[in-house]
Structure formats: structure tokens, C-alpha cells
């Protein structure tokens, strides 16, 4: 029954923090010649271990800079960990940044296919979901307008509609529950709830303990790149509240 969907084993992630960011050859040469090429090591994640089983909804909490986003990026495959291994079974829908694959010069309709392809879906598959996406995003009138003329709320709606049109095994949510206006937010929450109820695995990042309690059944707290607390959602949320109030 309990089948591990996400396995994170001894994952550590190191960044080289330069005192100044060097992104051109000229500065690099000057710094090298004057012997100022220094790197400060910074471990954003240190030896993270956890397993998420099928149907689990895991809340990831922590203060700013605790390594939450890095952890999600490592799980989503955007970053490769410096050490350790991540195993994910099935399709992940990383709703970390909606609309990251959009092109402003493309129309809404063209962007649906482009974004779908960025997520690794075939044209045929997106075609079959096309009507559903347009309907959900409520953009029927504007679908042939270039995206640069969309408002930010419209873009977010389109991104959300595409990302949720598919049925992934793992859903990664990074505080995206605040898409669009109140009406659309309600609709999107209902949609997410519907997806969660079908028993998919969810990773949810938030500062908001009441939201975490509502969605998740398990939680972890990250602090300075390490897991300091993990377990049942209510226990961990209580600890987190305690931690903040200290």
C-alpha cells in the first residue's frame, strides 16, 4: 500500500557565493591576475533525507532562506544536488512558477502548446486538453491576442489552467494558491482540492500554518538547510508556531 513516490537520500546542495558576482571574462581575468578570485562555500541543503509515500501531502515549512525553494528545485530536477540522490516515480507537475515557459509575442493559443511542450507533452495531448484549458482560464475572447497584452492575472490564470489540465502523480505547490482575483482563487482552490482528493502526492511550501493544516497530512520544518522537525502535520505546525513566536 505505502509505496514511496519521492525518495530523497542524503541530499546536499552547495553554492559558491562570490563576494561579487562575476559574469564576464574581463572581470574574471582581472580578479584572477590580482588573486582576488575567492569563493565562499554555502550549503543551502545539508544531508536531507525523507520519503514521501503515495497519497501523502507533505508540507514544507521554514523561514526565508531555509532552503525550501532549493529543495523543491532539486526534487523537480531543475537543480542537480551536489551530493545525494533524488528518486521520483511518475510525472511531477512543478507549479513553482506559473507561466515560466510563455513567450510574450505569442498568442494565448500558441502559448498553450509552447508551455505544454516545455512541460514535455505532445501536441496531440495538449490538443485534447485545449478546450478544457481555455474554458478554465476564462480567456475565450483573448486567446488570439499576443500574451504581452495580457494582464498579470490573465497570464497567471492561463498558466494555472495549463499546469492543472494534466493529471500528474506528484504536484509541487509553492504558494500558488493566490492566483488571480477572489473568484478565480476559489475556483483554483476547488480544482486543486479535487486533484488532491484523487489521491495524488503533494508537496506544499508555505509559511501559513493554517493552509498547511488544511491541505497536508505530514510536514517538515527546514532550518538553515537541515530538517529540524518532521512528522504529523499538527505536531509540526505547533512546533513551527512555537518557533516563530520565540
246 binds other proteins (CB under 8 A): no
CB of 245 to other proteins, least distance (A): 33
- Comparing CB distances to other proteins, the nearer of 46 and 89 is 89
76 binds other proteins (CB under 8 A): yes
- The number of angstroms, rounded, from the C-alpha of 181 to the middle of its chain's C-alpha atoms is 21
Q: From the list 42, 103, 135, 190, which residue makes contact with other proteins (rule: CB under 8 A)?
A: 103
Residues 15-32: b if buried by 16+ CB within 10 A, e if exposed: eeeeeeebeeeeeeeebe
* Part in contact with other proteins (CB under 8 A); list of ranges 34-42, 91-99, 152-160, 236-244: 91-99
SS3 content of the chain, % helix, strand, coil (to 5): 40, 30, 30
Q: From the list 166, 177, 195, 243, which residue makes contact with other proteins (rule: CB under 8 A)?
A: 166
Q: From the list 3, 23, 41, 197, which residue makes contact with other proteins (rule: CB under 8 A)?
A: 23
Residue 100, CA atoms < 13 Å, CB-side half-sphere: 10
Length of the chain in residues, anyone? 246
26 binds other proteins (CB under 8 A): yes
- Comparing CB distances to other proteins, the nearer of 79 and 134 is 79
- Comparing CB distances to other proteins, the nearer of 60 and 172 is 172
135 binds other proteins (CB under 8 A): no
- The number of angstroms, rounded, from the C-alpha of 127 to the middle of its chain's C-alpha atoms is 25
CB of 195 to other proteins, least distance (A): 13
Binding positions for other proteins, 182-241, rule CB under 8 A: none
Binding positions for other proteins, 36-75, rule CB under 8 A: 74-75
101 binds other proteins (CB under 8 A): yes
127 binds other proteins (CB under 8 A): no
Contacts with other proteins, residue ranges (CB under 8 A): 15-16, 23-26, 28, 74-81, 85-94, 96-97, 100-101, 103, 105-106, 110, 113-114, 116-123, 166, 168
Amino acid at each position: 500500500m505505502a509505496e514511496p513516490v519521492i525518495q530523497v537520500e542524503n541530499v546536499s546542495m552547495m553554492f559558491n557565493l562570490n563576494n561579487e558576482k562575476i559574469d564576464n571574462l574581463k572581470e574574471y581575468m582581472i580578479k584572477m591576475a590580482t588573486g582576488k578570485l575567492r569563493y565562499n562555500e554555502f550549503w543551502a541543503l545539508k544531508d536531507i533525507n525523507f520519503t514521501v509515500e503515495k497519497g501523502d501531502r507533505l508540507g514544507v515549512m521554514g523561514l526565508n532562506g531555509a532552503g525550501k525553494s532549493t529543495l523543491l528545485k532539486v526534487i523537480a530536477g531543475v537543480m542537480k544536488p551536489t551530493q545525494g540522490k533524488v528518486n521520483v516515480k511518475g510525472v511531477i507537475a512543478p507549479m513553482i512558477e506559473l507561466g515560466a515557459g510563455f513567450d510574450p509575442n505569442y498568442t494565448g493559443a500558441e502559448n498553450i502548446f509552447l508551455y505544454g511542450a516545455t512541460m514535455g507533452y505532445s501536441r496531440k495531448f495538449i490538443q485534447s486538453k485545449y478546450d478544457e484549458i481555455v474554458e478554465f482560464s476564462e480567456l475565450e475572447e483573448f486567446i488570439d491576442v499576443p500574451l504581452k497584452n495580457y494582464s498579470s492575472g490573465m497570464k497567471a490564470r492561463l498558466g494555472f489552467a495549463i499546469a492543472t489540465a494534466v493529471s500528474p502523480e506528484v504536484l509541487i505547490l509553492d504558494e500558488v494558491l493566490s492566483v488571480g482575483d477572489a473568484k478565480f482563487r476559489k475556483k483554483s482552490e476547488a480544482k486543486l482540492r479535487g486533484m488532491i482528493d484523487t489521491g495524488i502526492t503533494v508537496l506544499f511550501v508555505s509559511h501559513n500554518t493554517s493552509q498547511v493544516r488544511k491541505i497536508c497530512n505530514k510536514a517538515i520544518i527546514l532550518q538553515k538547510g537541515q530538517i529540524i522537525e518532521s512528522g504529523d502535520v499538527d505536531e509540526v505546525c505547533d512546533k513551527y508556531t512555537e518557533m516563530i513566536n520565540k
